[in-house]
């Protein structure tokens, strides 16, 4: 199986490394448009295991990479920025990739987000008819839903395989998103906020196993929440990182209202999903996993410490 993963980041790194472990994988290629200090570290991690190439998915020459693959995996997306930025990353790029993949007769796996429908509650299930009756509210949520609709339309025109994965909070040893960097910095000095937040989570490695499974099953029209079962207290992330860094830590109760005041606008919007859980059975059947893995968080703290020593602790 030949995989093309579009969009270098920590999730792509986990997926690529996971896929490279399987004997039935003949090649994995990860593309990027530009590098920053953290992505340079990802390239080092991938070197010798997978191919990493600079390429623009909006360029017609990208078609050759698609043609030389069996499964195209889109990880391009943005959570914050201007409406134009969000629309390009969450709608235009996925649409172009889905169209290219469909024209070449390739399977397309699109990573969206659990918030794309705006649904909250307990054991949230996917809608019976794709994106019908959903209620996204923020620009991020709206563009994610539009992106899903668009890739669905493009692949239906050619009748090619499509799977849409809606991950919850993705964690993993190579995570360097702003929330994990913030957790690390507080855990390093022994400050462990008790926020009262409960988030549905998914291990980035499990996403790699899901991609492999889907590449074998080749569903035509699948959309599923990618989530472990239940929720995890955000405070546990701080505690696990502190343990890994050998910090005793002081637990500090922080009222949610105060926490909101110090969070970026785009992150604050996600707080309404605190306590929301998703139907985990479909993802368990695809990936073979359903449980939170605390060891990945401990290892994440060590990875971030290593980035800091190199002067590369830059939130991505």
Express as a percent the part of the chain with pLDDT over 90: 86
Which tens digits make up the pLDDT trace of 11-55? 999 999 999 999 999 999 999 999 999 999 999 999 999 999 999
Which tens digits make up the pLDDT trace of 123-167? 999 999 999 999 899 999 999 999 999 999 999 999 999 999 999
Residues whose CB is less than 8 angstroms from the CB of residue 255 and which lie 6 or more positions away in sequence, other chains included = none
Spatial CA neighbour of 56 closest among 9, 106, 6, 102: 6
Q: Tokens 């340079």 correspond to what residue?
A: 40
pLDDT at 265: 61
Instruction: Answer left, alpha or beta for residue 38, where phi above 0 means left and psi between -120 and 50 means alpha.
Output: alpha
Tokens of 47: 């070197």
pLDDT at 315: 80
Average pLDDT value over all residues in the chain: 94
pLDDT at 257: 74
Which tens digits make up the pLDDT trace of 271-307? 889 999 999 999 999 999 999 999 999 999 999 999 9
Residues whose CB is less than 8 angstroms from the CB of residue 143 and which lie 6 or more positions away in sequence, other chains included = 83, 86, 87, 89, 90, 91
Q: What is the mean pLDDT of residues 207-230?
A: 97
Q: Do the Cβ atoms of 202 and 142 come closer than 8 Å?
A: no
- pLDDT exceeds cutoff 70 at 76: yes
pLDDT at 316: 79
pLDDT at 261: 67
* DSSP E strand stretches across 88-153: 107-111
Centroid of chain to Cα 234? 17
pLDDT at 260: 66
Which tens digits make up the pLDDT trace of 220-270? 999 999 999 999 999 999 999 999 999 988 888 877 777 666 665 655 666
Q: Which of 176-180, 216-220, 286-290 bottoms out in mean pLDDT, i.e. has the lowest?
A: 176-180
The CA distance from 177 to 138, in Å, is 20
Residues whose CB is less than 8 angstroms from the CB of residue 205 and which lie 6 or more positions away in sequence, other chains included = 14, 18, 172, 293, 296
* DSSP E strand stretches across the chain: 2-6, 27-32, 51-54, 71-74, 107-111, 162-167, 169-171, 191-194, 198-199, 201-203, 222-226, 232-233, 250-253
pLDDT at 263: 61
pLDDT at 5: 98
pLDDT at 80: 85
């Amino acid at each position: 199986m030949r995989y093309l993963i579009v969009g270098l980041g920590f999730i792509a790194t986990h997926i690529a490394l996971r896929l490279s472990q399987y004997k039935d994988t003949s090649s994995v290629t990860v593309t990027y448009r530009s590098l920053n200090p953290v992505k340079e570290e990802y390239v080092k991690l991938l070197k010798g295991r997978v191919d990493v190439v600079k390429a623009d998915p909006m360029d017609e020459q990208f078609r050759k990479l698609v043609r030389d693959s069996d499964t195209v995996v889109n990880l391009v997306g943005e959570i914050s920025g201007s409406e134009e930025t969000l629309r390009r990353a969450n709608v235009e790029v996925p649409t172009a990739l889905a169209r290219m993949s469909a024209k070449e007769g390739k399977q397309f796996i699109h990573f969206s987000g659990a918030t794309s429908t705006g649904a909250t509650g307990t054991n949230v299930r996917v809608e019976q008819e794709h994106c019908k009756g959903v209620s996204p509210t923020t620009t991020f949520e709206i563009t994610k839903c539009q992106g899903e609709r668009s890739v669905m339309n493009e692949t239906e025109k050619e009748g090619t395989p499509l799977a849409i994965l809606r991950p919850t909070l993705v964690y993993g040893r190579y995570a360097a998103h702003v929330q994990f960097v913030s957790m690390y910095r507080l855990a390093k000095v022994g400050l462990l906020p008790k926020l009262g937040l409960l988030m549905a989570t998914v291990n980035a490695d499990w996403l790699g196993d899901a991609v492999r499974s889907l590449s074998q099953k080749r569903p035509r029209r699948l959309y599923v929440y990618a989530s472990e079962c239940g929720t995890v207290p955000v405070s546990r992330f701080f505690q696990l990182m502190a343990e890994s860094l050998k910090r005793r830590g002081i637990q500090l109760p922080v009222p949610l209202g105060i926490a909101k005041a110090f969070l970026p606008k785009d992150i604050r919007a996600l707080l309404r999903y605190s306590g929301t859980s998703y139907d985990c059975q479909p993802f368990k059947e695809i990936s073979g996993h359903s449980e939170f893995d605390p060891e990945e968080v401990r290892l994440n703290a060590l990875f971030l410490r290593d980035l800091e020593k190199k002067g590369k602790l830059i939130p991505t």
